[in-house]
Amino acid sequence: MKHKLLALTLALLAAAGSLFAQNRVTGTVTDDSGYGVVGASVMEKGTQNGAVTDLDGNYAITVRPGATLVFSSIGYATQEVAVGNQSTINVLLKEDTEFLDEVVVVGYGTMKKSDLAGASVSMKEDAIKGSIITNIDQSLQGRAAGVTAVQTSGAPGSSSSIRVRGQATINANAEPLYVIDGVIMQGGGSSGADFGLGDALGNGAVSTVSPLSTLNPSDIVSMEILKDASATAIYGAQGANGVVLITTKRGKSGEAKFSYDGMFAVQRQTKRIGLLNLREFAEYYNDLASVGMVEANDYYSDPSILGKGTNWQDAIFRTALQHQHQVSAQGGTEKVQYYVSGSYMDQQGTIIGSDFQRFSVRANLDAQLKKWWKIGLSAAFSNTNENMKLADSDEGIIGYSLTSLPSAPIYDQDGNYYSITMKNYAIINPVAMAMLEQIKLNRQKTSGNIFSDINFLPQLVWHAELDYDISYSKAETFNPSVNLGSYQRASNEVREQKNNSLYWALKNYLTYSNTFGKHSITAMVGQEVWESRWDYESVFNTALPSNEVVNPYLGTGTPTIGYGYGSSSMASFFTRETYNYDNRYIATYTFRYDGSSNFGPNKRWAPFHSFAFAWRFSNEKFMEGAKNVLNDGKLRLGWGQTGNAGIGSYKWGTSMTKVATGLGTGYRQSNLPNPNIMWEKQQQFNVGLDLSFFNNRLSLVAEWYDKKSNDMLMPLQLPSYMGTQGNGSSALAAPWGNYGTIDNRGFEFTLTAHPVETKDFHWSSEGQISFNQNKLVALAGTASAAIVGYGQWNDVVSVSNVGESLYGFYGYVTDGIFQNIEEVMAGPVQGDGMPHTVDDDGIWHASTNPADYNQYNTTWVGDIRFKDLNGDGHITEADRTNIGSPMPVFTFGWTNTFTYKNWDLSVFLNGTYGNKVLNYLNMRVGNMKSAWANQPTSVLGRTQLEAIDSGKTYDGTGNVWNWFEDPQNVRVKNPGATLPRATTGDPNDNDRLSDRYIEDGSYLRVKNITLGYTFPKKWLQKVKIENLRVQVNIQNLLTFTKYTGYDPEIGASTASVNVMGLDNGRYPSPTMYSLGVNVTF
Amino acid sequence: MKNVLKYMALGVVVMLGMSSCDKFLDRPAEDSYNSQNFYQDANQCIQGVNYLYNSPWYDVIRGFYRVGECFSGNYYMGSSPYLQFTVNGSDKELRDMSASLWAVNANAITVYNRLKEVTGVDQNTLNMCMGEALTWKAFAYFFLVRSFGEVPIVHDMSSMIASGDYNSVYKAPKEDVYNYIVILLEKAMTLLPKKVANKDGRIDYYSAEALLAKVYLQKAGVTGTLNQADLDKAAQLAKDVIQNSGRQLLEVYSDNFRMENNKNLEALISWHWDASAQPWTAQNSFQSDLAMKGFDEFGDVWGEWNGPSIALADQFGVSALADPAQRSDVDTRRKATMMLAGDSYDYFWTGNGGFDYLRFFYDDDYGPSSNPNASAKSMNSPTGAGCVKFLYGDGNDHMAALGVSAGRMAYGLSTHILRLADIYLVYCEAKLHGPGSSTSDAFALDCYNAVRNRAIPGAVSAKTSITFEEVFKERNLELALEGDRWYDYVRVGYYNPDFAVADIQAQRRNSYGGDLNEVYKAYYTNGVWDASAIVYNTDEFTPTANAIKAKLNALPFPSEDVVYNPNLEKEAQPFDLSTIEF
């Protein structure tokens, strides 16, 4: 029907033209690939006379003699052809290289990409679509140079830790600022505690809850990641960690286009940690018994009759399903355009009991009310439901699954959960834990904006915008009553918390842009205010009559109620000036002046400046000769300031906290104040080089930067005797202040190539690599000040010393295994309680009397020799040192896309190099301290002891009854072993944090393989379908790494701030196989 | 026209934008008080001190028990480094204890400094509050110096933060720390009210004086030889408390540990917990670590694999291997301290007609009505004994005594950390001169007899003198499992470490081998007692003299502090106590 109409129009045009014309011209407009160009405009120059090409690129027009035809179409270079006496003119339209100069979103406006002087990187829809992602932040991994994205967990919908150009701050929020269609993303918090989940997900500042999982990735058309300060300075106090600008799809004029995107996926955990099976464990146990460590157990006495026992890893992991569906419609008239979408996603987690669902709708409207007045509206609503599990930490499901004995069944004969209780050692049945303990989170969010653009003059636009974000969340932790031996809770407990928040922002800015000859300028000046108000209420109660109905009102315990509210606000003024001379010299200046309620009256306001300069040397006359080779070249220099205020409110005063006491209500001062706390300030230099060769067949972007964060916001790092390190609910919180300086320097390279471009076959390849060096330059206080990070609870695992990279692991250095008692007696003394003498210089010497040693409570043959770094003869805290950094030397990503006719194949690899992982899980699981917890198979290679003289007999003198109790009659049986002896008491503290648990975290991962087929248009026309595409995708297919844990990709710790790369049973990222379909009609 | 409209709209917006932002940006905490608008009247000042009686101490309790009772040999705890003397600076409980003690110090001084600035509030109330804060600060330091030996003196951390020298301080010698505690308590005594027969649970003059007496006794030998002046001072202060405070021993020993007596006439200084656990740390959680699984209905009890030691039973002259029917059990403190087969308690499980130790394990239908199947199925204590002190019972007991429900790891039983009976024995010891000495001081004999007579009714002693060893043992019988015993060894260890080492090495610190559970079970089901298959495990471990002496001298200081302040590794430097100002 549509085509008939078009034909009729053409006919009418032709008829109208015939009144004057003498010449009728027909022809076909084609493009490089030989296809007809639809809808190209064919105009007679200098008149209103024109035609439009049809579906196959054919046109017909009648013109006056001597006329010139102008062929144009968006995306192609305009061509003029003098008609002369030709009656058939076929035209090949060339793609417009100027058009490749896309328009990109910058803060408070848009710019031509060629005009950018700062460092930023774009991600388009297809890169986002190339991965199976629940959250948009997951798509950043390996795709953008300078951006490291590490998933905090493999749980569905979980967060990523994103660092733009390295870790540039500590404690204050280090994640970039997300701006969705101009609205600053309101997280509602990133730790479980923020939502009212207490420490159910760990007690660190980050959790698996992702603020971005409320956003539907399919609605996104592009992302811009602003990296250097000249780009981010326009966000002033909020831009220090980089800015991610997200643009959602908007309507286009034309008849409605409907599309459906559907995906079905299967996920599973492909890796298992090697653990002893029942037979192997029995042998291990019997071996311990044979050297007197445990009493012999009849059950294990004959391993050969035992089976393999329970595989607890298989019990907690499952093959999980995921499906998602999105329907959208876009279209409109010239005056009004719309985009609406609705989507649903349901993802099971690969750990039993965990899942994630999201329902979202979006409506984006644009209307041209007057010639000079345009308004627009974005509105999105989303609703997510999550069932979360505590996977990592000492009390996590994964840890329990590794320590649970293979001798214990999952269920007893009656089908109830079996309880595992062995002497003095109890492990919670991890399957029961996963299925019974509930951690649920429901989030609802309505966000968007309304804006108005008024053109006072064609060059002067006033943009006014009201942003809003209304969020609600409901968190529930329910611990049912259970009675499983050691895992027992007679009285159930429920805690519900509801959070509400309202954010609004109002901004106005005037933009003037004009061109005077070779000079073109853009000037913008504006203002913004925002306010965020929040409140929460929580109820906790115990002793509900049953586990069936979870309602704290039904509890018969004493309910406790929590309630709180607060707000924060910011006011800002900003301006940006850009100047472009002849497309050769480009300069930008931005300034922002921010006031934040997070700071006291003394330090509330701060200015932020930036300058950037770019030289497009390829447009210089002297480069003209090289145009064939180098078609674009730009050198960029930038410097700028940004800030960080993300510390929460009222650190400049002391608030009082209510404390119940046995003497009545009490109040305590919860923190030490710092009235002079102010912005964290960052200065960044950036040098960038953009080069394009051979008509964009090969292009390179190279960047160097030096980013220094000064006055870093953090709590003052105080030693414990200052009283600020105790339990958070009773210790005085240390004063927050501006205490540190961090420097990040690095190089980034992005190389894009199109090595093969033929009619049917295209190959494009994009690789990016980012090097970053991180250094803690200074901390206020003394030279020895350091930032300390904790593993579980208050176990120090990382120390960031001044002059070193952040978050280095801090432990002892191992120096082999003591092979015999002579080596033990040669020292160093491995602990204060070990037999020793002290000489006049205060140097310790291990006792040289063998009788002082015994296998139960002194250092013994087969124990680890730790290095005495300070030479005082004994191992003390002073012998701990930096034993590895979790920061990678470089990260990289490489995408290859092949298209052959309608087929396309994309392979995406990514990885890191040079980072270390602390295998904290192995420190707990493989410590060989218990005969009541399973062990990894690596313990089979442990040091074992043997008698030197097996014929020696004993009468109990000196409490020695056996060879294995006789220091002079034991030696190592397998001298090459690197693991120490198994000892239940571990008097030598073999499992103390040492380089024994530090592993290489480098990896190369086949992150994504996508194979797609787009059905030919010819076929689809018959069924009125515009586009149909199916694709299969495999995510995380292969990972090449030396790391022995599940997954080397380990981000920020959920247990503690100041710790990265610590694996305490992180929920591993699954391998995912999916089938997707996209239909547009 | 339309342009006018446009420009008017812009004008309004610009004016709005330019209007004063400072009010918009001024947002102190909205949903809570701040330190400036609190402390406005006497009641608020008292509320501002109340929390020093519980919350900051919460993380002390595990270390307090391990240090006080495992090291000293009163409590058996499997392969605990406290039992084996291998504890190091990264030990969680020790670090929690240390952090918590320092938190008490910091909180106390913060409150004290704020109270100093308060105006318009009755001076007596202010003095009382400031005196309480100083006493708690002193008590925190008393724990610190006895546990960790040399420690830095942090008199006012706010000024240390201001001056920036917090990472360069040195440890102070033990003598200086003790002298600092003396200064704190003497100042507190000038501020605190003299309340005769105080039963409100708050610290008063006599509480501080009693603590000072104990401090003087503890410091008497710190230089290596006993200082007579310190002993005299300890005796004088103790005597004043005993004679003039109006405090008195409760008639029944076990009443000291009942929730009904959270505030009583024997208690001089106590932690007063609140069962609401608002916030976490407000509550008592001892029972979770000490009792048998199923003792209460909150699923929060896991202490059954540990137990009062065989050494402690030896001190009381009883044995878990002896037929309960034949047990000669004259000292009522034994049953109030450790449960053995055959014991029952009318004050636990009152809703169930009392608590019976063996029935608990072997009667499936026995238990709190709200939790009929909570009872354990076997007796797992490696020493055959269970703790009694610091247990509150079940939810019903809690509700009956305090009127509010207990919760998971949350109950309101006060912990008395300084009792009058302790001061009686402080007096006795102050009249002695260490191991080998004896005294016939009449008042000392009265004190000793008063403590013994309450515990062993009718046991009037005709002694004309008492020895150090008798007092030293009596302290354990009276105060065992109250977190104090290790410090007796520390005190003696200052001037006679060999005595402490010998005493500890002579203890039967290990567990029983063989199936004690079967013995108990048979006895419960058919009344037959046969423990002949049970042996004392001689081969587990005996701590070495080196290890004991190292820990008597000082427990390892938390490891991360060394990272901040390397001066902590260096020799202690004398502290100029004349710089202390209040």
Q: What is the per-residue pLDDT across A902-913, written as a single tens digit (0 to 9) for each?
A: 999 999 999 999
- The DSSP bridge pattern shows strands B535-536 and A814-817 to be unpaired
CA distance A985 to chain B (A): 6
- Smallest CA-to-CA distance from A644 within A170, A244, A238 is with A238
Whether residue B157 and residue A424 make contact (CB cut-off 8 A), yes or no, is: no
What does the pLDDT read at residue A1072? 92
H-run or E-run covering A1019:
helix A1017-1022
CA distance B142 to chain A (A): 14
Nearest beta carbon to residue B564 from set A596, A660, A785: A785
CA distance B23 to chain A (A): 10
Looking at the predicted structure, is the pLDDT value of residue B374 above 90?
no
For residue B368, give the chain A residue with the closest CA. A490
- Read off φ and ψ for residue A253, nearest 5 degrees: -70, 145
CA distance A560 to chain B (A): 7
Looking at residues B381-396, what average pLDDT do you find? 94
Whether residue A372 and residue B2 make contact (CB cut-off 8 A), yes or no, is: yes
Specify the pTM. 0.82
Whether residue B35 and residue A673 make contact (CB cut-off 8 A), yes or no, is: yes
Alpha-carbon span B306 to A178, nearest angstrom: 53
H-run or E-run covering A894:
strand A890-900
Contact A357, A382 (CB under 8 A): no
Residues of chain A predicted below pLDDT 50: 1-2, 4-21, 98-99, 424
Q: Sort out which chain A residues have CB atoms less than 8 A from B105's CB and list them.
A: 721, 723
B110: DSSP letter: H
Q: Sort out which chain A residues have CB atoms less than 8 A from B535's CB and list them.
A: none
Alpha-carbon span B336 to B455, nearest angstrom: 10
Could you tell me how many residues make up chain A? 1081
For residue A600, give the chain B residue with the closest CA. B26
Alpha-carbon span A356 to A261, nearest angstrom: 19
CA distance A308 to chain B (A): 29
Nearest beta carbon to residue B55 from set A560, A729, A833: A729
Going from the C-alpha of B260 to that of each of A98, B389, B412, the distances in angstroms are 87, 14, 10
Whether residue B25 and residue A878 make contact (CB cut-off 8 A), yes or no, is: no
Q: How far is CA B272 from the centre of its chain?
A: 11
What is the identity of the amino acid at A584?
A: R
Whether residue B280 and residue A568 make contact (CB cut-off 8 A), yes or no, is: no
Whether residue B201 and residue A735 make contact (CB cut-off 8 A), yes or no, is: no
Torsion sign (Cα): B437, B441, B445, B447: negative
Average pLDDT taken over every residue of chain B: 90
Looking at the predicted structure, is the pLDDT value of residue B1 above 80?
no
Whether residue B35 and residue A832 make contact (CB cut-off 8 A), yes or no, is: no
Please report which confidence band the pLDDT of residue B9 belongs to, taking 50, 70 and 90 as the band edges. Answer: low
Q: Helix or strand or coil: residue B581?
A: coil
H-run or E-run covering A1013:
strand A1003-1014
What does the pLDDT read at residue A423? 53
What does the pLDDT read at residue A497? 95
Nearest beta carbon to residue B32 from set A491, A657, A785: A657
CA distance A798 to chain B (A): 10
CA distance A510 to chain B (A): 10
Whether residue B374 and residue A490 make contact (CB cut-off 8 A), yes or no, is: yes
Q: What is the pLDDT of residues B258-272, one digit of tens each?
A: 999 999 999 999 999
What does the pLDDT read at residue A18? 44
CA distance B240 to chain A (A): 27
CB atoms within 10 A of CB A567: 17
Contact A813, A866 (CB under 8 A): yes
Whether residue A661 and residue B273 make contact (CB cut-off 8 A), yes or no, is: yes
Alpha-carbon span B368 to B354, nearest angstrom: 10
Whether residue A560 and residue B278 make contact (CB cut-off 8 A), yes or no, is: yes
pLDDT: which is higher, B10 or B46 = B46
CA distance B217 to chain A (A): 26
Looking at the predicted structure, is the pLDDT value of residue B375 above 60?
no
Looking at residues B290-294, what average pLDDT do you find? 89
Contact A577, A588 (CB under 8 A): yes
Nearest beta carbon to residue B564 from set A597, A717, A831: A717
Mutate to test the interface with A, among B12, B167, B170, B570 (most CBs of A within 10 A): B167
Q: Sort out which chain A residues have CB atoms less than 8 A from B299's CB and list them.
A: 481-482, 488-491
Contact A429, A418 (CB under 8 A): yes
- Smallest CA-to-CA distance from A233 within A646, A599, A701, A685 is with A685
Judged by average pLDDT, the poorest of B22-31, B342-351, B525-534 is: B22-31
Q: Sort out which chain B residues have CB atoms less than 8 A from A666's CB and list them.
A: 47-51, 53-55
Nearest beta carbon to residue A558 from set B106, B404, B538: B404
Alpha-carbon span B442 to B432, nearest angstrom: 13
Mutate to test the interface with B, among A419, A658, A659 (most CBs of B within 10 A): A659
Q: Sort out which chain A residues have CB atoms less than 8 A from B372's CB and list them.
A: none
CA distance B289 to chain A (A): 13
Report ipTM for this prediction: 0.91
Angle at B292 between CA B286 and CA B295, to 5 degrees: 85
Looking at the predicted structure, is the pLDDT value of residue B459 above 80?
no
Nearest beta carbon to residue A663 from set B30, B53, B89: B53
Could you tell me how many residues make up chain B? 582
Q: Sort out which chain B residues have CB atoms less than 8 A from A966's CB and list them.
A: none
Looking at the predicted structure, is the pLDDT value of residue B299 above 50?
yes
Nearest beta carbon to residue A723 from set B89, B103, B559: B103
Alpha-carbon span A11 to B175, nearest angstrom: 110
For residue B513, give the chain A residue with the closest CA. A295
CB atoms within 10 A of CB A637: 17
DSSP E strands, A336-489 = 336-348, 355-370, 373-388, 420-422, 425-427, 438-457, 460-479, 482-484, 487-489
Buried b (16+ CB within 10 A) or exposed e, A642-652: bbbbbbebbbb
Whether residue B47 and residue A665 make contact (CB cut-off 8 A), yes or no, is: yes
Whether residue A489 and residue B298 make contact (CB cut-off 8 A), yes or no, is: yes
For residue B381, give the chain A residue with the closest CA. A424
Whether residue B559 and residue A880 make contact (CB cut-off 8 A), yes or no, is: yes
Contact A44, A64 (CB under 8 A): yes
What does the pLDDT read at residue B331? 93
HSE at residue B388, side-chain half, CA atoms within 13 A, is 27
Alpha-carbon span A314 to A431, nearest angstrom: 10
CA distance B528 to chain A (A): 26
A732: DSSP letter: P
Whether residue B90 and residue A795 make contact (CB cut-off 8 A), yes or no, is: yes
Q: Sort out which chain A residues have CB atoms less than 8 A from B168's CB and list them.
A: 782
CB atoms within 10 A of CB A668: 27
What does the pLDDT read at residue A9? 47
